[in-house]
Structure 1
């Protein structure tokens, strides 16, 4: 590897780490924006009342006389947009720095291009979130898009570190154990976004029961009606109580299924060197996330605890990808070592 290419790779390793951290910050600021009801603090996009900075009340009234300016909420929303724009610049920097390396063997150029495509799509979802007035489908997709950017940055960072260190060994191919766990995790994250976008966080009072019942009154068809009307303002939600209870209850069932899936995955690989420990950390993060979810219900969704629950979801997703990375690149040698040890025991 040439010195210039190695320097470029080192810069890319640092830049993708920065992008990973910055994406997590953007997601937490986005969650804070939603929790303080500032998602429509600016009624237009990309500016705020037609300005790049939050204007005064007089100018805001001239621009949107039907939407009174609330300065705090407007600044919260614009802070989220400013940080998200900075993240877009980081993505462009990753693509630009990687351009001369795009034909080098093992360089993850396709991952870089995928990251660029997802961040552009994420910007569109950010615009639709405002223009469609917090339509739950778009809000949920916006959350999943943010997680996609986060995990792509993290995966790219891991790939670049491996390229810099030099390729070693083979890669393990996917199997049903990891696929099932990954699908359960994605579904649960989507359910969490649906709970948030429909303001169903405390629709079920109490835990483990929901509103004092193990099987509460629910309207599942309405709660998961994915063709809701475009047009109404969805701030604070439009679903009735039984529909919100259904959303929250299904989210709890999803958490249970995810827990079973993660425990099964850990049990399957509990004796694999280099894989068991990352999976144990994932199980620990899952347990912490469940505890945060229960605490949010018991304490009526305080702001700081709701933000911790979002941070827990971010940590769980990253932990799972990190464990998967270890399995892909260490499982073959670990399995070989384990099998050899068992063979030695038999011979002895």
Structure 2
């Protein structure tokens, strides 16, 4: 394996990680400005690869009048996502010759390619199924999955470039799995809140609509087989169903916070992990404050976008902490410290 090509792959994977962050945030902005259906077709916009003029759009889809700003927002999102797909293809192509090497993360590269193709399909379904909440939520989770695979690929390539043989690894505590499961659940709840437009269904904090346990319709709020066909822009659910979704997201945030505190308490004895644990709690605290601010100030665009960015920071911090915790050096360091204090 040539050092030059390996270095290129390492930097391309880092670029992919940063670009995926941008794609997710642009996607969130697209949704927040109601531009998800700015182009009623896919992959083009009113049959064109660039946003057409009003007359062309009217001739193509007369029932969906052109709103140029929203159409351009949607198309910029598609352009950037397409560029990300090309970057993944480049990584796979450059790594092809080392696909049989045991120390090269070839399967990880293929997983990334597979997921980016699935994401492209979800992008199409988001438009053709008119913002069906199930697809929108899965599209968000898929984007976060792409981010994590890019990050993991970069870490593996950086490790490969720095050592002649892969370092030994240690089994993670089950608490890392619990924290990851709680975070995935909370991200799914956040996506469900967003896709059903339930962000301000609970007014006020810490109470919801003036009550500690508000009127809710859980069965309708979490009815995962909503009808395909209606336009889900601005949502279709009634107030109590949206309240259930929002309130569920608050309960999920509480569970996640407890899980992260438990993880921090259990792993604090490992000095090499402490910066990651502090960062994890800091990211959670920031998300908590942003969530409360969004409720109290009725979901302003900047704060809503910052809340998405905060969720990504939480994901990255947990992933980096888990990566660091899996390295044997931490375990040895902790063992020596425990012997010294004995």
The two structures share one fold, judged by TM-score above 0.5: yes
Note the alpha carbon deviations across 1:192-233, whole angstroms, 9 max, x for none: 000000000010000110001000000000000000000000
- CA deviation after TM superposition for structure 1 residue 190, in Å: 0.4
- Equivalent of residue 118 in structure 2, options 113, 116, 121: 121
Residue 221 of structure 2 corresponds to 223
- Equivalent of residue 319 in structure 2, options 321, 325, 330: 321
- CA deviation after TM superposition for structure 1 residue 340, in Å: 3.0
Q: Does 1:133 align with 2:136?
A: no
- RMSD (CA atoms): 1.1
Residue 210 of structure 1 corresponds to 208
Q: What is the alpha-carbon distance in structure 1 between the residues aligned to residue 334 and residue 326 of structure 2?
A: 16
Q: What is the alpha-carbon distance in structure 1 between the residues aligned to residue 144 and residue 337 of structure 2?
A: 40
Residue 40 of structure 2 corresponds to 43
Note the alpha carbon deviations across 1:130-159, whole angstroms, 9 max, x for none: 000000000000000100001100110011
Residue 286 of structure 2 corresponds to 288
Residue 336 of structure 1 corresponds to 332
- CA deviation after TM superposition for structure 1 residue 168, in Å: 5.4
Q: What is the alpha-carbon distance in structure 2 between the residues aligned to residue 75 and residue 205 of structure 1?
A: 33
2:215–2:243 Cα contact (<8 Å) kept:
yes
With structure 2 as the length reference, what TM-score do the two structures score?
Answer: 0.98
Q: 1:328 to 1:66 in 2, by over 3 A?
A: same
2:172–2:322 Cα contact (<8 Å) kept:
no
2:103–2:166 Cα contact (<8 Å) kept:
no
Instruction: Note the 1:90-109 alignment, pairs <5 A.
Output: 90-109=87-106
Q: 1:218 to 1:313 in 2, by over 3 A?
A: same
2:6–2:157 Cα contact (<8 Å) kept:
yes
Give unmatched runs, 5+ long, in structure 1.
none
With structure 1 as the length reference, what TM-score do the two structures score?
Answer: 0.96
SS at match of 1:232: coil
- CA deviation after TM superposition for structure 1 residue 338, in Å: 2.9
Q: 1:202 to 1:345 in 2, by over 3 A?
A: closer
Residue 265 of structure 1 corresponds to 263
- CA deviation after TM superposition for structure 1 residue 345, in Å: 4.0
Give unmatched runs, 5+ long, in structure 2.
none
